[in-house]
A = this chain, B = another copy of it.
Amino acid sequence: VNGSSVRVGLLGCGNVGGALVQLVAQEAPAIAQRTGVSLEVVRIAVRSAAKHADVPAALLTEDAGSVVHDPGVDVIVEVIGGLEPARTLILDALKAGKPVITANKELVASAGADLFAAATAAGVDLLFEAAVGGGIPLIRPLRESLAGERISRVIGIVNGTTNYILTRMTEEGTTYADALAEAQRLGYAEADPTADVEGYDAAAKAAILASIAFGASVVGADVYREGISSVTPGDIAFAERLGYVIKLLAIAERVEGSRAVAVRVHPAMLPSTHPLAAVRDSFNAVFIEGDAVGELMLYGRGAGGMPTASAVLGDLIDAGHNLRSGGSGRSVLPGEAELFPIEDLSSAFYLSIEVADRPGVLAAVAGVFGDHRVSIRSMEQHGMRDEARLVFITHTARERDMQATLDGLRKLDAVDRVGSLIRVVGSD
């Protein structure tokens, strides 16, 4: 480090990068006074310099590699997103002995193990607080505050778009389609919302949480995943009558009597008294259960330029402190926990099916549950013209048995439609 100033090279200057440039310009004196770390953004790599009239032209370059290799740059911040060229740039920076801060969840979720190994080999920091939960302090508490804790389960609301949609459906009774359209109008959902509403974004974050909390070697594509597009206002209303809310949850949990970790993303019914039930609109939260610490929840803005830049800035000060003090941050050591197959998990289930409204149908349906040893805790029947909707809550059952029950139900003539299957989480 040259003098006492930490010289930052920024790769990418979109929503998050632009906010970071602004924050550093505004807060650097206060940060230096508070922490002794002076930050200065000295180079910024962008795709097209002409489009960035908002930042000093002298800092801009279209050659990201030149920033990584510039001897006048001490620390690299990567906010380009996506797999390449981000991955290669980060690996090059680490090899050059430069700490890296990244907000790139896709990359950390898919290539985290390689990146962590490169950082450990180089003995420099690779920090990624902003990759999960935006501005929420999450990765540092998990890696540091809870370093001595035997964590049993992590349950997250880690996608703001789907939480916004489910909140509108719950509080205003709107349909999924209407709530999605509203989210798109407000800029909470993309024109193509697939990555959010089908749970891909949450699955990437679940993989990162599982690797940090449990040392599991999990990539996003390994995570069992269901989205929210088939959740209906009827499901939500029924859940509410029973004292539940429906949330899209990312769950990573240690499996009793095994070294394995189960990781999954799906809509779930959560008791309305559960702290996660009060997480509304586009907010995120992660609920952590540990043997000694009990229950914890970390809540905040999971996205947005400023909140995400705030998390990047915290990491940057950390890396700067370590550069100045000659210390190093914590390594992320390669994990050994294996992935547990979802078919062997157990939970209670909510299921809604539509059937022909004629005698004997309920007996046939109940028979299918019984054949697969799934025990029914409660049932409600609602007439709809010549059909009926049957809504079930089961006792705790194995996923494998419940899926077999669904297959069996689909084969019954009297069953017109098998609707939502929603797992019940956080009670029992």
Contacts and interface: CB of A to CB of B under 8 A. Distances in A.
Contact of A295 (B35, B300, B327): B300
A322 B327 contact: yes
Interface in A301-357: 301, 304, 306-307, 309-311, 313-314, 316-318, 321-322, 325-328, 330-331, 333
A278 interface: yes
A136 interface: yes
Contact of A145 (B273, B294, B299, B314): B314
Of the listed residues A144, A146, A148, A325, the one surrounded by the most CB atoms of chain B closer than 10 A to its CB is A148
A265 to B, nearest CB: 22
Given A293-B300, A295-B301, A322-B327, A137 B141 contact: yes
A325 B329 CA distance: 9
Contacts of A331: 36
Interface string A118-146: 00000000000100000111001100111
Given A137-B137, A140-B144, A148-B314, A327 B325 contact: yes
24 contacts: A23-B292, A34-B333, A135-B293, A135-B296, A137-B145, A137-B296, A140-B140, A140-B145, A141-B141, A141-B145, A144-B318, A148-B316, A273-B280, A275-B279, A275-B299, A285-B297, A291-B306, A293-B307, A296-B299, A297-B297, A297-B299, A297-B300, A321-B330, A322-B327
A298 interface: yes
A285 B23 CA distance: 27
Contacts of A140: 140-141, 144-145
Interface string A25-41: 00100110111100000
A150 interface: yes
Interface in A32-69: 33-36
A297 B310 CA distance: 15
Contacts of A148: 23, 27, 31, 310, 313-314, 316-317
Interface of A: 19, 23, 27, 30-31, 33-36, 129, 135-137, 140-141, 144-150, 215, 273, 275, 277-280, 283, 285, 290-301, 304, 306-307, 309-311, 313-314, 316-318, 321-322, 325-328, 330-331, 333
Nearest to A336: B33
B310 A147 contact: no
Nearest to A312: B148
A36 B120 CA distance: 12
A280 to B, nearest CB: 7
Nearest to A23: B292
A31 B330 CA distance: 13
Nearest to A295: B300
Nearest to A140: B145
A79 to B, nearest CB: 15
Contact of A314 (B30, B149, B277, B304): B149
B301 A294 contact: yes
Contacts of A292: 19, 23, 135, 306-307, 309-310, 313
A295 B300 CA distance: 6
Contacts of A297: 285, 297-300
Contact of A294 (B150, B215, B280, B300): B300
